[in-house]
Amino acid sequence: MENFIVSARKYRPSTFDTVVGQGSITATLKNAIKNKQLAQAYLFCGPRGVGKTTCARIFAKTINCLNLTPELEACNECESCKAFNENRSYNIHELDAASNNSVDDIRQLIDKVRIPPQIGKYSIYIVDEVHMLSTAAFNAFLKTLEEPPAHAKFILATTEKHKILPTILSRCQIFDFNRMKVENIVGHLQNLAKKEGIEADPNGLNVIAQKADGGMRDALSFFDQIVSFSGKKFTYQDVINNLNVLDYEYYFRLVDYFKAGDVVNSLLIFNEILNKGFDAHHFVTGLSQHLRDIMVCRDAATVQLLEVGADIKDRYKKQAQESTLPFLYTALNITNRCDLDYRDSKNKRLLVELMLMQLCNIGGKIVSQTSVNQSVAQPQIQAPAPQQNIQQTPKETIPQATIQTPQQTIPQTATKPATQVVSTAQTQPSATTQPQQNVGQISIRELMQRQKQQAEAQQQKLQEEKAAQAPIQSNECQDFTPEQVELLWKKLAEIYKTKKPRLHAIFASSVPKIKDNYVLEMSLQNSLQIDTINEVKTGFVGYVRKELHNSKIEIVTKVEENNSNSNVVYTDVDKFNFLNSQNNNLGILKTELNLDFV
């Protein structure tokens, strides 16, 4: 590459008109110049690479130009303009506070402020990353900022406005620079490509703009990177390879597979993505974004929220027409939940695969069977769920299926799925998923009935758990008889009869022996049963102590000695339970997909 000049420098705008995407700011600054109402100090706030320093320099050049154009732009021809353009003007002083943040640095700057400019009217002091100044430096600066000489203008720039002292804020005219829109960046890159004779795929430019996340400087450096890699012509494929961006083609295909209930191909695509070295979490958030993009495409009013190129937009629109709102809601809920659970998951790959399976099962495409022995996988909840969640759940989920007008529902999507997941997924993971899965097929009345049943079931469960966890009355220490224990165990078995058959079986079959010091010893058949008991032990020990009026009761477990086959598994249920004890994601899988034993 001969004489390769970084685009960010080569194509730095030199007049207000050429600044991209900050129209209202440049208009205000020009107006101030026109009306000769210049402030002493300006504060330019906004994310990196959106044109703060560029605007500061143009402003400095323009107010010093000896021969302003009728459009109030710098002429770029007078002596002052030339000096600015060639970086040799004495009227501009830049201080990068990120690396020069001491009192001495500021004092040096203040010393210069007193000297009037030789050519032109104003000396401009640009302090970049001003929030980095030390407190002492800030204080030293304050006095000058309060009463600067008429020829001195300050432009402070920061990416973190909240870190600026109020005393500084009150002395500055503040401009908030926005993130640039994708279309603005694409437009700018297109111009630049034309000037450089580079044939650039618009979809590729779009990816660059999205990856730059509103920052022109980043977009330009990505552009340079790709040009130096691919030369004078580059395609969408070149861009995604070079910037390590996941091809949206995958997402389009996946959504089609979800609708067809094609688990196999969905899992294969995910595998391919992982093999290419992409991060699974990145994939999940990308999928959420894709579903969101489809969602906004469903309505003419929100289609403008889609930040993609024109021809790809048609594909989004097409997929949007083919997708129902309930499908999209449910899918977004599922991906969002996966996103939230991702960090805590021990088997991240399985979590994502599970998400894909659930997405394929929207509308109950994989298994229509609904009678499931839910207890097997139901996670144990240590603390009673807060009352409000239980009341909230049915209220929040019903609108998903009932509201059909997109205008009403779309604004909710940005926030609802997330909050809903937080409020329900953490407390009752298995309870909320079932109605959502079949949302596409079942009638609203059915849905409401299910919600009602679920709310009732949850209430009952809550009461049980409350009872089980009720605090011990006092330091009671009454003696008790084996008959009392037996009776109590029958009661426990009864409590768990419908909800947790495994616990029911244990309590029904193994009444504990009373040992010394109020120890109750339960003989169990295998280690799996011990695990099952341990999961709920804290709760039911309290319950036993309360019922038998003895706060010293301890419960211990052991595997029956004469049961030599204790760890041999022989039925399907046993095999499953054993495997589930090794990896409880299996149980979740079973519940989520409504699987049952044949």
Please state the closest distance from residue 152 (CB atom) to Zn ion, in A.
20
Residues 6+ apart with CB under 8 A from 127: 94, 95, 97, 109, 133, 154, 155, 156, 157
Please state the closest distance from residue 56 (CB atom) to Zn ion, in A.
17
Please state the closest distance from residue 62 (CB atom) to Zn ion, in A.
8
User: Judged by CB, which is closer to Zn ion: 75, or 367?
Assistant: 75
User: Judged by CB, which is closer to Zn ion: 75, or 541?
Assistant: 75
User: Judged by CB, which is closer to Zn ion: 30, or 281?
Assistant: 30
DSSP secondary structure letter of residue 521 = E
Q: Which strand (E) or helix (H) includes residue 56? A: helix 52-64
Residues 6+ apart with CB under 8 A from 505: none
Beta bridge partners of 153: 124
Instruction: Give CA–CA dist 145/158, Å, rounded.
Output: 16
Please state the closest distance from residue 18 (CB atom) to Zn ion, in A.
15
User: Judged by CB, which is closer to Zn ion: 65, or 352?
Assistant: 65
For residue 390, with 0-12 CB atoms within 10 Å meaning exposed, 13-18 middle and 19 or more buried, which class applies?
A: buried
Please state the closest distance from residue 65 (CB atom) to Zn ion, in A.
3
Q: Which two tokens stand for residue 112?
A: 């210069």
Please state the closest distance from residue 44 (CB atom) to Zn ion, in A.
22
Q: Which two tokens stand for residue 384?
A: 């009673």
User: Judged by CB, which is closer to Zn ion: 65, or 492?
Assistant: 65
Name the residues that contact Zn ion, by CB under 5 A. Answer: 65, 74-75, 78, 81
User: Judged by CB, which is closer to Zn ion: 58, or 81?
Assistant: 81
Please state the closest distance from residue 82 (CB atom) to Zn ion, in A.
8
User: Judged by CB, which is closer to Zn ion: 75, or 142?
Assistant: 75
In which residue are the tokens 């685009």 written? 7
> Helix, strand or coil for residue 586?
helix
Please state the closest distance from residue 157 (CB atom) to Zn ion, in A.
23
Query: Following DSSP, what letter does each residue of 136-181 receive, concatenated?
Result: HHHHHHHHHHHS--TTEEEEEEES-GGGS-HHHHTTSEEEEPPPPP
**216: closest CA among 328, 51, 425, 418?**
51
Instruction: Give CA–CA dist 73/76, Å, rounded.
Output: 9
User: Judged by CB, which is closer to Zn ion: 81, or 354?
Assistant: 81
Q: Are 342 and 284 in contact (CB under 8 A)?
A: yes
**32: closest CA among 152, 175, 145?**
175
User: Judged by CB, which is closer to Zn ion: 80, or 206?
Assistant: 80
Please state the separation of Cα 175 from the chain's center in Å.
29
Q: Which strand (E) or helix (H) includes residue 514? A: strand 513-514
What single letter denotes the amino acid at residue 63? I
Instruction: Give CA–CA dist 368/16, Å, rounded.
Output: 63
User: Judged by CB, which is closer to Zn ion: 79, or 521?
Assistant: 79
Sign of torsion, CA 59 61 63 67? negative
Please state the closest distance from residue 113 (CB atom) to Zn ion, in A.
24
User: Judged by CB, which is closer to Zn ion: 74, or 172?
Assistant: 74
Q: Which two tokens stand for residue 528?
A: 């799996």
Please state the separation of Cα 474 from the chain's center in Å.
47
Please state the closest distance from residue 331 (CB atom) to Zn ion, in A.
57
Please state the closest distance from residue 75 (CB atom) to Zn ion, in A.
4
Instruction: Give CA–CA dist 518/550, Å, rounded.
Output: 8
> Helix, strand or coil for residue 42?
strand
Instruction: Give CA–CA dist 337/342, Å, rounded.
Output: 8
User: Judged by CB, which is closer to Zn ion: 75, or 418?
Assistant: 75
Q: What are phi and psi of 559, to 5 degrees?
A: -85, 135
Please state the closest distance from residue 70 (CB atom) to Zn ion, in A.
13
